[in-house]
Amino acid sequence: MCPVISPVMRPVIRKAGRSLLWLLLAVPAALMLAGLMRGTTPAMDLLHPSGELSVRLMLLALLPGPLAEFFGANRFLRGWLAIRRNLGVAAFAYAMLHLAFYVVDMGALAPMVDEFALPPIWTGWLALALMVPPAAVSFDAAMRALGRRWKALQRLVYAAFALGLVHWLLLDWHWQPAAVHLAPLVIAWALRRHSRGRGRNLARSTT
């Protein structure tokens, strides 16, 4: 099935694939912004879709790691892992867009400051703040420079994800969306834990 591709072409294809991925990731943002600019969609109606998409992209960035540990890195998961950083950066971009819509909707600083201390609001701010360091070091040079610490820094996304769900829950009071988004991750973690336990037992039995 896999055609023979000359090694010279491989980076070109990878680059084209990445561009296509980013084009795809930008489509919802373009639609949201077009609705806002044309005046057909008020900023308040864009808060939910942009925030939800950010959470979903975060989930997509968090899933392949534990899944690859359980299933082994097959071709599908390798491909998914390869775009994981892009998905994470896109999640941050949509969180920033979410903030932009919030600012447009509120229209002034004073009411934003006024409601900052409300739990449904500060959890959103904190979730966004926690996404800044992982997003800021999401390029190759930073990855190399930070070494092991890079991965530790990326773990902040877990906290951002959980806080994002809490933020959503406190605003909506609907348990289902939070549960639906949390469940895949919990399952993936459980699988990883299972495979790690298996690895440890194996190591113990061979020593």
Partner 1 sequence: MPIARLSLLALAPALALLAAPAAHADGNVRCNAGPQDKWKPLKQVHKQAFLEGWTVQKAQVEGDCYEVYARTESGQAIEAFFHPVTLQKLIVYRRGREIFRAPGFKPEG
Site of interaction with partner 1 (CB under 8 A): 42, 44, 105-106, 108, 110-111, 114-115, 118-121, 123, 126, 130, 152-153, 155-156, 158-159, 162-163, 166, 169-174
Least distance to partner 1, CB of residue 152, Å: 4
**CB closer to partner 1 out of 41 and 195:** 41
Least distance to partner 1, CB of residue 166, Å: 4
Beta carbons of 98 and 33 less than 8 angstroms apart: no
d(CA 62, CA 60): 6
**CB closer to partner 1 out of 156 and 187:** 156
**CB closer to partner 1 out of 25 and 43:** 43
In the block, tokens 């920033």 appear at: 96
In the block, tokens 């829950």 appear at: 169
Least distance to partner 1, CB of residue 58, Å: 13
CA dihedral 23, 62, 100, 109 (to 10 degrees): -170
Q: Where are the alpha helices (DSSP H) in the chain?
A: 10-38, 43-62, 64-71, 75-82, 84-106, 109-115, 119-136, 140-146, 148-154, 156-172, 175-206
Least distance to partner 1, CB of residue 74, Å: 27
**CB closer to partner 1 out of 4 and 117:** 117
Least distance to partner 1, CB of residue 198, Å: 22
**CB closer to partner 1 out of 42 and 197:** 42
Least distance to partner 1, CB of residue 19, Å: 32
d(CA 76, CA 85): 16
**CB closer to partner 1 out of 99 and 121:** 121
d(CA 164, CA 35): 24
Q: Work out the number of other CB atoms within 10 angstroms of the CB of residue 205.
A: 7
d(CA 143, CA 155): 14
